[in-house]
Structure 1
Amino acid sequence: MTFPEFTPLQALIRHAQTHLQGRPIALGQDADLLLITSRRLQHIQRVPTHDPALILVLQGTKLLYPEGEQTLYTPQHAIAMRAGCALDITNLPPAGAPYLALAVAFKPALLERFQRAYPEWSAPQSAPAPLLQRLHQRQPLERIALSLLEQLDGSGSLLHTHLLLELLLHSLLQGGSNLLWHAEPDLGSRLRHWLSSDPAREWRADDLAEQLQIDPSTLRRHLRRQGTSFRQLLEDVRLSHGLSLLQGQHLPVGEVSQRCGYASPSRFAARFRQRFGLPPSQIHP
């Protein structure tokens, strides 16, 4: 499918809406693609990023608040967002049109493949990288993203991987080295990985302790040292999954609550509002 009468940005918007509207796509173990859409102003508190992500604002304005400072992004910029942070986010739609942003979350398997191919980028980083990096050269990023979306129909995974590696390389060459930064995995991140595999499951701390081959009391003690608990970690995983479902698939709140392990949609809505600062109904475009 081609849109020859459009500018590259307009073509990217059309392809994103065609392929990703209400349907996020996982490209194997390499990346997740998500089109974020909203027809109303959204202010979402403490949105977690578990994988590094490249975000292209397509329509409207995104405000981010790293360490209490406001930063503004428009379709002139791209955003390299580090893994392991939680940011307040405001999405502002333009007059008469929805807010649109394309998010590409790079998975660990792709990052490892990239660093094998480009060992000069694999030097360890001694200090945490910036949460955000503003990338000013949008044209090469738009071109690669458009090629990636054009190849979603019927192309093999090898071509998808090649384009994702190219997208990552262009981001790094513009100063987005924070995409490669990662903290040493701790117990909390290992547990999050297990819980994220099936958020709706009736997880028990003892079951995960057995999977990780540690004593349940040791697990709880380590989590207390990290300022959390098994119940808090599970709830955060479930609510973050709910945010992703609402943003990417536009599902009814009742169905989202079930997929997140909540038997009561009202309880899910209350906990969601407490966590993100707005009701789940306001996430729908």
Structure 2
Amino acid sequence: MGPDLLARLSRFAARDLRPGGGDRPHRPELWAFVAHDRERLAEVQIERTALIAVLEGTKELTDQTGTTRRFPAGSAMLLPPGWSGAVVNDPSAGGRYRALVLEFPAEMVRRLLRAHGTDGLTQRARPGDWHVTLTPSLTDAIHHAAAGLTADPPLPPKLAEHRFMEVLLALLEDGVWWLGPVAPTGTADAVRQLLRTQPDIPWTAERVAGALNLSTGTLRRRLSDEGCSVRSILTEERVAHARDLLESEGLSVQEAAEACGYANRSHFARRIREAMGVNPSNLRGR
């Protein structure tokens, strides 16, 4: 991101404004992190989808695998719900660290994915780096959202939410595959989050393991300890998605089958009968 784009966002991080403890409200939020000394936060847990733009200094993220990644000024990251690890905020040579943080509630991300689908969400070559590019369109969307949330008088909640949705749309356009709605509390939940956003692609244990930065053996062992498998979770998520498409969206059986990753309609119907005891056609418009 060039200096002009940095300058546009910098006015929203003039002073330190961090979230306090307790539950976040069910609305988008804007935070600013400002530090004049190097700070290390040893145990950070991300509860809601968070887009972080580094404006001055450098941010370092060290995940549970021990991998450390650096994000200098002008870069950004999208941390998914459930990310945990250590964070270092390191001031620049000028003696200051600044970052702007946009937080998105889970229901907003769900609505985005329901409305616009997940066709553009493709797996990155380096899963786990969380880096996103601050393109002019994404920067414009962030600026628009931040200006709305800091307006005096403030924007009505629905309008402010609409501006934050523009940011999510810009991320979706960039194909950010980990844009997921649910905070995982274990390996099985993390797999569900991943598959829920893209139930139509041909998931394998190897592909899921790569997306979660795990070896295939570790993934299978952890899921076995939790009493499930990639196949069982994928079936559960596809059936739940199919039910929603048939009952609420009014899709045809063939359309629902394709949206859930089933090329064979008979196979799809069998899975629905096994899980729910009814034919998929009986679910339409219920």
TM-score by length of 2: 0.54
Counterpart CA distance in 2 for 1:116 and 1:31 is 18
2:155 aligns to what SS in structure 1? Answer: coil
1:50 aligns to what SS in structure 2? Answer: coil
C-alpha deviation, 1:107, in angstroms: 0.6
Counterpart CA distance in 2 for 1:8 and 1:163 is 18
Counterpart CA distance in 1 for 2:104 and 2:119 is 16
Counterpart CA distance in 1 for 2:5 and 2:45 is 30
Asked if 1 retains the 8 angstrom alpha-carbon contact of 2:82 and 2:184, the reply is no
Structure 1: which 5+ runs fail to align? 1-5, 190-224, 227-285
C-alpha deviation, 1:63, in angstroms: 0.9
Q: Quote the residue 1:92 is aligned against.
A: 90
Deviations 1:100-149 (A, max 9, x none): 111112111211221232134699x9xxx944421124322221111112
Counterpart CA distance in 2 for 1:108 and 1:21 is 25
Q: Which amino acid aligns with 2:52?
A: I
1:62 aligns to what SS in structure 2? Answer: strand
C-alpha deviation, 1:27, in angstroms: 9.8
Asked if 2 retains the 8 angstrom alpha-carbon contact of 1:61 and 1:94, the reply is yes
Task: Please tell me whether residue 9 in structure 1 is matched to residue 6 in structure 2.
Answer: yes
Counterpart CA distance in 1 for 2:117 and 2:16 is 36
CA, structure 1 residues 150+65, in 2 after alignment: closer, same or farther (shift >3 Å)?
Answer: same
Q: Quote the residue 2:81 is aligned against.
A: 83
Structure 2: which 5+ runs fail to align? 190-224, 227-286
Counterpart CA distance in 2 for 1:47 and 1:37 is 17
Asked if 2 retains the 8 angstrom alpha-carbon contact of 1:30 and 1:109, the reply is no
Counterpart CA distance in 1 for 2:85 and 2:50 is 13
Asked if 2 retains the 8 angstrom alpha-carbon contact of 1:16 and 1:149, the reply is no
Counterpart CA distance in 2 for 1:138 and 1:88 is 27
Radius of gyration: which is bigger?
2
Q: Quote the residue 1:179 is aligned against.
A: 179
Asked if 1 retains the 8 angstrom alpha-carbon contact of 2:106 and 2:182, the reply is no
Asked if 2 retains the 8 angstrom alpha-carbon contact of 1:31 and 1:104, the reply is yes
Counterpart CA distance in 1 for 2:110 and 2:167 is 15
Alignment length (residue pairs): 179
Asked if 1 retains the 8 angstrom alpha-carbon contact of 2:56 and 2:97, the reply is yes
C-alpha deviation, 1:175, in angstroms: 3.6
Asked if 2 retains the 8 angstrom alpha-carbon contact of 1:41 and 1:93, the reply is yes
CA, structure 1 residues 185+61, in 2 after alignment: closer, same or farther (shift >3 Å)?
Answer: closer
C-alpha deviation, 1:50, in angstroms: 1.1
Counterpart CA distance in 2 for 1:27 and 1:143 is 25
CA, structure 1 residues 28+83, in 2 after alignment: closer, same or farther (shift >3 Å)?
Answer: closer
Q: Quote the residue 2:101 is aligned against.
A: 103
The percentage of aligned residue pairs carrying the same residue is 24
CA, structure 1 residues 121+84, in 2 after alignment: closer, same or farther (shift >3 Å)?
Answer: farther
CA, structure 1 residues 161+122, in 2 after alignment: closer, same or farther (shift >3 Å)?
Answer: farther
User: Aligned-residue CA RMSD in angstroms?
Assistant: 3.3
CA, structure 1 residues 39+185, in 2 after alignment: closer, same or farther (shift >3 Å)?
Answer: closer
Q: Which amino acid aligns with 2:176?
A: G
Counterpart CA distance in 2 for 1:156 and 1:94 is 37
Higher relative contact order (CA 8 A, sep 6+): 1
Deviations 1:3-37 (A, max 9, x none): xxx933212111332xx743759996232211111
1:180 aligns to what SS in structure 2? Answer: coil
Asked if 1 retains the 8 angstrom alpha-carbon contact of 2:49 and 2:106, the reply is no
